[in-house]
């Protein structure tokens, strides 16, 4: 079967750091995507991990452990505009999206 587990909601403070965790079980694995989705808008691509380890891209970093079926998205220096849903999406034969983590940033 296929299962993706990430927290439904998180809250963090502007300027702080937040880590959004994702665990997954898929039939086969060909990498993991993270997407950002603002309310009422389409998802936008953030990162793609295919090998174990940390990928850093500006304020956002994504980590993957294939043996543990685990990934996280790290957001640094949080800004109000980072308030959005973050979708963990492992790829087996196709990409499967989790329900997303709704992140709220407070001043």
Partner 1 sequence: DTGVSQDPRHKITKRGQNVTFRCDPISEHNRLYWYRQTLGQGPEFLTYFQNEAQLEKSRLLSDRFSAERPKGSFSTLEIQRTEQGDSAMYLCASSTDRGYTRDTQYFGPGTRLTVL
Q: Which residues bind partner 1 (CB under 8 A)?
A: 30-31, 33, 41-45, 48, 87, 89, 91, 93-100
End-to-end, the C-alpha distance of the chain in Å comes to: 41
What lies within 8 Å, CB to CB, of 74 at 6+ separation is 17, 18, 19, 20, 60, 61, 62, 63
**Closer residue to partner 1 in complex, CB, 10/96:** 96
**Closer residue to partner 1 in complex, CB, 8/107:** 8
**Closer residue to partner 1 in complex, CB, 76/91:** 91
Q: Which residues of 64-90 are buried (b: 16+ CB within 10 A; e: fewer)?
A: beeeebebbbebeebeeebbbbbbbbb
């Amino acid at each position: 079967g296929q299962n993706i587990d990430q927290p439904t909601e998180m809250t963090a403070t502007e300027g702080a750091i937040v880590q959004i965790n994702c665990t997954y079980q898929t039939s086969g694995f060909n990498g993991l995507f993270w997407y950002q989705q603002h309310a009422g808008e389409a998802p936008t691509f953030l990162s793609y991990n295919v090998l174990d380890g940390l990928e850093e891209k500006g304020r956002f970093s994504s980590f993957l452990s294939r043996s543990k079926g685990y990934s996280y998205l790290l957001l640094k220096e949080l800004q109000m505009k980072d308030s959005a849903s973050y979708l963990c999406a492992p790829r087996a034969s196709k990409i499967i999206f989790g329900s997303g983590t709704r992140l709220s940033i407070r001043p």
